[in-house]
Amino acid sequence: MIELKDVGVRRDGRELFSGASFQLHPKQKVGLTGNNGTGKSTLFALLLTHMGIKDTEVTTDSGELSIPERWQVAHMAQEVEASDQTAIDYVLSGDEEWYTINRALSQLDTLSDAEIGTLHQRFDEIDGYRTPTKAAQIMAGLGFNVQQHELPVSGFSGGWRMRLNLAKTLMSRADLLLLDEPTNHLDLDAILWLETWINQFEGLVIVISHDQAFLDATVGHILHVEQQKITLYTGNYQQFVRTRSERLAQQQQAFEKQQATRAHMEDFIRRFRAKASKAKQAQSRIKQLERMSELSPIMADNPFSFRFYEPTHMSSPLITLAHADIGYRADAPLLHNINVEVTPDTRLGLLGMNGAGKSTLIKALVGELPLISGQQRISDTLKLGYFNQHQMDSLDADATPMQMLRRLAGTTSDADLRAFLGSFDFRGERIDTPSRLFSGGERARLTLALIVWQRPNVLVLDEPTNHLDLQMRQALTLALQGFGGAVVLVSHDRELIANVCDSLYLVHDGKVEDFDGDIHDYGKWLADKRKAANVTDNKSTVSHETSKQTNAETANTPVKPSAPLADTKPAISKEEQRKLAALQRKQTAPIRREIENTEKALAKLDEKLATLEVKLTDTALYEESRKADLLALLDEQAQLQQQHSEQEENLLIAMTTLEEMEAGFE
């Protein structure tokens, strides 16, 4: 386990945390949270330094830190150098031992027979023949197609290099996995795949993330850094918020701010609930009010508090695409016969797999990409607010926030401009700092601030939360709920989509259609698509796996990382059938273990529920003096029933997966 005892760390003369004491154990999944600058990345660097990773030197100023010497660590760096190494080889290098052995076995003339035998024995022990398949599966999960495997790392953009870096990290057979914002450059289908992968990982995971839904789906503990202290909470992010809210509720200032926010939202609902033009915004406020107990603890000390100005001069529709073919080549449009209408009441979320065409549709809507065919009609009253990565990157690097806002603000006083920038947490010297010195989060906030100032009536937002922390994401959610114009949103942040969008479009197979369901149903849709693809892949690759393993054992040669997959399934001998059966048992072993463990967990929950039911038959519990005891038992029963339902769902999914895997071998 990892153990900290009264650890204190200072950097650049500033105390980041002191008296930190906690224990982390194998198989735990831990979210590391806290405001920017509180020391989350420093804690990662401290762990890496202690484990002999010297690229970032951070040591304790006080206290003790212990980590098992035998542990291996994998961490996701934030930069990837361009190189001529192929993508698949770069990912495979994440399994350092496999990569070293495979490289040695490719040079047999330099090895003795004893060395070759030892290497092959170890290659078998680490299941080296399956490693290239594992790398291909990870790359597929993160959105890479087979044609990209042989491309050089230098041929990918910065965001896709970060995906390669994540894939390389996931290839490691580490005991400790450190992930710093792994979802920043992923779309929703890749995030959902990553959630499944992390839940199946058998080591200790510590992840820094500003994606609340991702944390809720993956972690069972939260390490929160706040006011130079590190506190370990049990539960996922929502449970952490509730627990922390109990502490904040004791602070009068936080309570008053929460009540003021609630009163403002209730007033909005009273005034506009019955007004047709505002009905959707009012419904969004009602939804937010229902979630107040979860959001208020974070909002209580939130440095961000902004709103969009009320749009003026709107007609309907504002943007229309009719029978449009959209793409980058006239002879091969990506999207066909698209019909989209944006009205003042539009609150639209775009869903779809990586590469399906969501950003392409966005570019056509805003006029950045001409239509191949069809019609686009733009209202004379359109005032567009468009956010994407390009807008962030095109900020004037030498200008300060004050200078950029002044160019838009005319005769507005400096005091008003400073107050406005302060609502985006640009205060003090940061107002007069050139934007080239800003972090990604600061550039994203500044871009949003400039958009807000220009009073748009249509907001088109392409991944607006990539660089935003949890507090800014929540402030943006509240601001969008109060926005009086149209919203078109592409985001991997499920909380943002669920709280802002009233309708969803699915971009898939060259079409754009209404999606019948919510964001959670979309996750199930993606899972079904992935399972169908996996069954197809199993049927097309299993004979190749058997043949490859047989040939490798016979020839005493390593597996080639980029070996092509077989397209057909030849007739196989009895010996190959035996190997196929062994391979089937090996590939299905993890899911069989998962089913067995889930069944054991259900049995334990059944026992606990039965014991509770016996306790609840005690009539003395229902006396007024025992009310607290009764409520505690009922609360425990509700939690156990929830856990039971979750385990039953997990068991059903696992059994379905096993059936599909076994079908793939037929």
**Residue 620 scores a pLDDT above 60:** yes
DSSP 568: S
With respect to residue 97, please indicate whether it lies within any of the assigned structural domains.
Answer: no
- Do residues 347 and 475 share a domain? yes
Top-ranked range on mean pLDDT: pick from 185-189, 296-300, 320-324, 576-580: 320-324
- Do residues 366 and 277 share a domain? no
With respect to residue 7, please indicate whether it lies within any of the assigned structural domains.
Answer: yes
- Do residues 43 and 191 share a domain? yes
> What percentage of the chain reaches a pLDDT higher than 70?
82
CB of 315 closer than 8 Å to CB of 380: yes
- Do residues 442 and 326 share a domain? yes
C-alpha span between 327 and 344 (Å, rounded):
27
Mean pLDDT computed over every residue of the chain: 82
* pLDDT at position 461: 95
Paired tokens of 169: 């990290």
Instruction: For residue 83, give the 3-state DSSP assignment.
Output: coil
C-alpha span between 18 and 238 (Å, rounded):
26
Q: Which of 234, 237, 255, 80 is nearest to 168 (CA)?
A: 80
- Do residues 615 and 664 share a domain? yes
- Three-state secondary structure along 180-242? ECCCCCCCHHHHHHHHHHHHHCCCEEEEECCCHHHHHHHCCEEEEEECCEEEEEECCHHHHHH
**Residue 642 scores a pLDDT above 60:** yes
* pLDDT at position 657: 75
C-alpha count within 13 angstroms, C-beta hemisphere, residue 187 = 19
Give whole-number Cα distances, 427 to 195, 331, 404, 420, 433, in Å. 37, 52, 15, 10, 10
Q: How sure is the predictor about 103, in pLDDT bands with cuts at 50, 70 and 90?
A: confident
**Residue 403 scores a pLDDT above 80:** yes
* pLDDT at position 551: 45
- Do residues 294 and 261 share a domain? yes
With respect to residue 551, please indicate whether it lies within any of the assigned structural domains.
Answer: no
* pLDDT at position 665: 57
- Do residues 233 and 294 share a domain? no
**Residue 613 scores a pLDDT above 80:** no
Choosing from 486, 515, 544, the residue where a domain stops is 515
C-alpha span between 430 and 438 (Å, rounded):
9
pLDDT tens-digit profile of 262-279?
777 677 677 666 655 555
Top pLDDT among 30 and 181 is at: 30
* Bridge partner list, 414: none
- Three-state secondary structure along 93-116? CCCHHHHHHHHHHCCHHHCCHHHH
Q: Which of 125, 128, 87, 71 is nearest to 104 (CA)?
A: 128
CB of 451 closer than 8 Å to CB of 416: no
- Burial code (b: 16+ CB inside 10 Å, e: under 16) for 108-133 equals eeeeeeeeeeebbeebeeeebbbbbb
Q: What mean pLDDT comes out for the span 166-172?
A: 94
With respect to residue 205, please indicate whether it lies within any of the assigned structural domains.
Answer: yes
- Do residues 335 and 204 share a domain? no
Domain membership of residue 349 as a residue range: 319-515
**Residue 556 scores a pLDDT above 90:** no
With respect to residue 385, please indicate whether it lies within any of the assigned structural domains.
Answer: yes
**Residue 547 scores a pLDDT above 50:** no
Q: How sure is the predictor about 545, in pLDDT bands with cuts at 50, 70 and 90?
A: very low
* pLDDT at position 376: 95
- Do residues 242 and 263 share a domain? no
Q: Is 200 exposed, middle or buried (0-12, 13-18, 19+ CB in 10 A)?
A: exposed
Model-level pTM? 0.65
Top pLDDT among 84 and 552 is at: 84
pLDDT tens-digit profile of 504-539?
999 999 999 999 888 888 888 887 877 776 555 555
With respect to residue 46, please indicate whether it lies within any of the assigned structural domains.
Answer: yes
* pLDDT at position 361: 95
- Do residues 495 and 589 share a domain? no
- Do residues 386 and 402 share a domain? yes
Choosing from 186, 218, 248, the residue where a domain stops is 248
What domain count does the chain have?
A: 4
- 103-117, 138-152, 353-367, 559-573: which has the minimum mean pLDDT? 559-573
CATH number at residue 234: 3.40.50.300
Give whole-number Cα distances, 47 to 186, 233, 412, in Å. 26, 20, 49
Q: How sure is the predictor about 446, in pLDDT bands with cuts at 50, 70 and 90?
A: very high
Q: How sure is the predictor about 290, in pLDDT bands with cuts at 50, 70 and 90?
A: low
Q: Which amino acid is at 363?
A: K
* pLDDT at position 587: 77
> What percentage of the chain reaches a pLDDT higher than 90?
36
With respect to residue 413, please indicate whether it lies within any of the assigned structural domains.
Answer: yes
Q: Is 279 exposed, middle or buried (0-12, 13-18, 19+ CB in 10 A)?
A: middle
With respect to residue 411, please indicate whether it lies within any of the assigned structural domains.
Answer: yes
pLDDT tens-digit profile of 460-469?
999 998 888 8
C-alpha span between 163 and 144 (Å, rounded):
9
* pLDDT at position 585: 72
Choosing from 248, 276, 311, the residue where a domain stops is 248
Paired tokens of 405: 């806002």
Instruction: Pick left, alpha or beta for residue 435 (phi over 0 → left; psi -120 to 50 → alpha; otherwise beta).
Output: alpha
Q: What mean pLDDT comes out for the span 614-633?
A: 73
- Do residues 13 and 32 share a domain? yes
